[in-house]
Structure 1
Amino acid sequence: MKTERPRVAIQGIRASFHEEAALRYFGENIETVECNSFKQTFEALQNKEADYVVMAIENSIAGSILPNYSLMMSYSFPVVGEVYVPIQLHLMALPGVRFDDVKYVTSHPIAIRQCIDFFDEYPRLQIVESNDTAACAKRIRDEQLTDTVAIANALAAQLYGLDVLERRIESNKLNFTRFLILTTHENARKKTGANKASLCFQVNNEVGALAKVLNIFAHENVNMSKIQSMPVLGKRNEYNFYVDIEWGETRQFDNAIKQILKYTHNFNILGEYLKYEEDTQAPKPAPSPESTKRYITVRKIE
Structure 2
Amino acid sequence: MEQQKPRVAIQGIRASFHEEAAFKFFGENITTIECNSFKQTFDKLQAREADYVVMAIENSIAGSILPNYSLLLSYNFPVIGEIYLPIQLHLMGLPGVKFEDIKTAMSHPIAIRQCDDFFNEHPQLKVVESSDTAACAKRIREEQLTDTVAIANSLAAKLYDLQILERRIESNKKNFTRFLILTHHENAVNINANKASLCFQVSNEVGSLAKVLNILAEEGVNMSKIQSMPVLGKRNEYNFYVDVEWEDDKAYDTAIRQVLKYTHNFNILGEYKRYVEE
Q: Normalising to structure 1: TM-score of the pair?
A: 0.91
Read off the aligned partner of 1:219 and give its amino acid letter. E
Corresponding residue of 1:96: 96
Measured after TM superposition, the shift of residue 263 of structure 1 is: 0.2
Corresponding residue of 2:208: 209
Measured after TM superposition, the shift of residue 188 of structure 1 is: 1.4
Q: Distance in 1 between matches of 2:259 and 2:28?
A: 41
Measured after TM superposition, the shift of residue 53 of structure 1 is: 0.1
1:82-121 equivalent positions in 2, closer than 5 A: 82-121=82-121
Corresponding residue of 1:240: 239
Which aligned runs of 4 or more in structure 1 are off by greater than 3 angstroms?
A: none
Q: Distance in 2 between matches of 1:116 and 1:199?
A: 35
Q: Distance in 2 between matches of 1:239 and 1:120?
A: 40
Corresponding residue of 1:297: none
Corresponding residue of 2:25: 25
Q: Deviations over 1:134-162 (max 9, x none)?
A: 00000000000000000000000000000
1:4-153 equivalent positions in 2, closer than 5 A: 4-153=4-153
Q: Distance in 2 between matches of 1:123 and 1:242?
A: 41
Q: Deviations over 1:168-208 (max 9, x none)?
A: 00000000000000001122112x21000000000000000
Please, which runs of 5 or more residues in structure 2 have no aligned partner?
none
Read off the aligned partner of 2:241 and give its amino acid letter. Y
SS at match of 2:28: coil
SS at match of 1:146: coil
Q: Distance in 2 between matches of 1:81 and 1:59?
A: 17
Corresponding residue of 2:226: 227
Q: Deviations over 1:53-111 (max 9, x none)?
A: 00000000000000000001110000000000000000000000001010000000110
Q: Distance in 2 between matches of 1:259 and 1:92?
A: 53
Q: Distance in 1 between matches of 2:3 and 2:113?
A: 39
Q: Deviations over 1:257-302 (max 9, x none)?
A: 00000000000000000000002xxxxxxxxxxxxxxxxxxxxxxx
Return the structure number with greater relative CO, CA threshold 8 A, min gap 6.
Answer: 1
Measured after TM superposition, the shift of residue 3 of structure 1 is: 6.4
**Aligned: 1:252 with 2:248:** no
Q: Distance in 1 between matches of 2:192 and 2:42?
A: 27
Corresponding residue of 1:198: 197
Please, which runs of 5 or more residues in structure 1 have no aligned partner?
280-302
Q: Deviations over 1:198-226 (max 9, x none)?
A: 00000000000000000000000000000
SS at match of 2:223: strand
Q: Deviations over 1:208-263 (max 9, x none)?
A: 00000000000000000000000000100000000000000100110000000000
SS at match of 1:212: helix
Corresponding residue of 1:296: none
Measured after TM superposition, the shift of residue 126 of structure 1 is: 0.5
Corresponding residue of 1:176: 176
Q: Normalising to structure 2: TM-score of the pair?
A: 0.99
Give the aligned length: 277
Q: Distance in 2 between matches of 1:28 and 1:123?
A: 38
Please tell me the root mean square deviation across aligned C-alpha atoms, in Å.
0.9
Identity %: 77
Corresponding residue of 1:267: 266
Q: Distance in 1 between matches of 2:251 and 2:54?
A: 29
